[in-house]
Amino acid sequence: MSFDKEIYRNLCVISAPSGAGKTSLIQSISSEENIKLSISYTTRKPRIGEIDGEDYFFISPSKFKKKIKDNQFIEHANVYDHYYGTSIDQINTYLSDENFVILEIDYQGAYKIKEKIPNSRSIFILPPSIVELESRLKKRNLDNKDTIAKRMNNAAHEIKQAKNFDYILINDNFDDASFVLKGYVQDRESKFVTAEKEFLIQSMF
């Protein structure tokens, strides 16, 4: 399948470490008429309040592997011992209707998308600081201490990957961050230069 069409410029990959506020920010702009969120497939169990077909498509590992075999994913990755994948058909349907399409995936998936679709755009969301990130993970009360420690260890590595993204957004004020994110998704802002990205990453630690 060819991914060199101009419509793929409207495909936006958004990544962030756990606790940076990525999901909430995406939800705040995905209600816009021309912004669609691609719903990923996953093998993990639903969290409290999550709805199949709205938050994720929750499927068994065997069904997930069959989709891989049938080339139904544009990317897939193993994150925290669970598989996540993005449907090719779903994003093509949204893009064909002249929408901006958001893929909410980890940096591994983002790299795969950029490799396959160079004219897609990528956004990395950062917390105000690594200290604030840990505080947010504790406050949301979803994980035990060991899991939080694992997420924090991974976050240090993930944050450094931001240098490979087109845009970096620091989520220090939700309303402001939501407004800026919308501009990035709708292709109204210039991509970041290397020096800008390096400065923002260093400010996290």
How deeply is 3 buried, as exposed, middle or buried, from its count of CB atoms within 10 A (0-12, 13-18, 19+)?
middle
What is the pLDDT at residue 6?
83
Residues 6 or more apart whose Cβ sits within 8 Å of residue 124: 14, 15, 16, 107, 161, 162, 165, 167, 168, 169
Closest by Cα among 116, 124, 136 to 168 = 124
In the block, which residue shows the tokens 């795969």?
112
What is the pLDDT at residue 3?
67
d(CA 97, CA 93): 7
What is the pLDDT at residue 2?
60
CB 82 within 8 A of CB 42: yes
d(CA 68, CA 62): 10
pLDDT in tens, the chain (205 residues): 566 678 899 999 999 998 899 999 999 999 888 999 999 999 999 999 999 999 999 999 999 999 999 999 999 988 878 999 999 999 999 999 999 999 998 898 899 899 999 999 999 999 988 888 888 888 887 778 888 888 888 888 999 999 999 999 999 999 999 999 999 999 888 889 888 899 999 888 8
What architecture is the 8-202 domain classified under in CATH?
Answer: 3-Layer(aba) Sandwich (3.40)
What is the pLDDT at residue 159?
93
d(CA 45, CA 169): 29
- Cα 179 to Cα 161, 184, 202: the distances in Å are 23, 9, 24
- Cα 155 to Cα 82, 131, 169, 184: the distances in Å are 17, 11, 16, 23
CB 143 within 8 A of CB 137: yes
CB 123 within 8 A of CB 114: no
What is the pLDDT at residue 151?
85
What is the pLDDT at residue 1?
57
Domain locations in the chain? Answer: 8-202
